[in-house]
Amino acid sequence: MGSSEHVMGKDAKLALIVSDSAKAQDGAKALHDSHPWVSPQDADVLVVLGGDGFLLHVLHELLDRDTTKPVYGMNLGTIGFLMNGPLEDGETIAQRVADAHTVPVRPLCMNAVTQSGDRHSFYAFNEVSLLRETRQTAKIEVRINGRVRMEELAGDGILVATPVGSTAYNLSAHGPILPLGSRMVAMTPLNPFRPRRWKGAILPESAQVEFRILEPGKRPVAAVADQKEVRDVAIVRISATAEKELTLLFDPGFTLEERIFAEQFQV
């Protein structure tokens, strides 16, 4: 999943999508008259102003609408790991987009069954996490490709992260950073109590992951796919979905791949 050369021309039709934050709204005012914007439906590229959370929101909306238009994010929010910097003096948004490199991103698909038998399906570009709902330690059985790999993980929970999401919650939980193009996912425990020394695993993207909640009545667990939560889960199945691949655009010289490298050499 590495980046490629830029593919958009200066004549690409651009749509502006702005978060509700005051910073993003002010930035939109400055950009509004600098380019002949079109509606999102008519655009070749969506220019998103805000932070990482808003960008993820836009990506999920694209999935819901079964749309695959490239997205160029500009950081006017709190966190901007997935975003490009603001325009410098003399730059135009059309040139920025024309010079940008593409990075394909594949979401994870989470299929969750609750204790009452309800079924829910959501996508995650960053990670799917299982979290204990009460003070009681969660107990989770881990299966991969139908085979039990860990009979009982006791702790606060566990997550599965994409390469893009490996620098988010996964990194905070001391999980590994995955290079773009690795076609891998990271499985990382959250404050494990038993087995205490287990640090997690790196799995091929093709792996079929299944978590089964042990003692769910006493130790309830919630499953979260990016911003979507399902409480009181009994079984959670996770797999990568190549058919839902979307495209992010990044400025040359400081691509998402370069940012992932930089994260690994911070001191």
Q: Which residues are catalytic?
A: 52
142 annotated among ligand-binding-site residues: no
The span from the CA of 175 to the CA of 159, in Å, is 9
186 annotated among ligand-binding-site residues: no
The span from the CA of 29 to the CA of 133, in Å, is 42
126 annotated among ligand-binding-site residues: yes
164 annotated among ligand-binding-site residues: yes
What is the residue whose two structure tokens read 């038998």? 117
171 annotated among ligand-binding-site residues: yes
The span from the CA of 226 to the CA of 126, in Å, is 6
156 annotated among ligand-binding-site residues: yes
In what helix (H) or strand (E) does residue 261 lie, and over which residues does it extend?
Answer: helix 256-264
In what helix (H) or strand (E) does residue 154 lie, and over which residues does it extend?
Answer: strand 147-155
What is the residue whose two structure tokens read 């001391």? 174
50 annotated among ligand-binding-site residues: no
101 annotated among ligand-binding-site residues: no
170 annotated among ligand-binding-site residues: yes
Residue 234's nearest CA partner among 204, 213, 261, 210 is 213
Judge whether 54 and 19 are in contact, CB under 8 Å: yes
Residue 128's nearest CA partner among 253, 19, 224, 219 is 224
85 annotated among ligand-binding-site residues: no
Residues 6+ apart with CB under 8 A from 258: none
In what helix (H) or strand (E) does residue 129 lie, and over which residues does it extend?
Answer: strand 127-132
The span from the CA of 60 to the CA of 22, in Å, is 23
172 annotated among ligand-binding-site residues: yes
The binding site for NAD(+) consists of 52-53, 57, 126-127, 156, 164, 167-172
The binding site consists of 52-53, 57, 126-127, 156, 164, 167-172
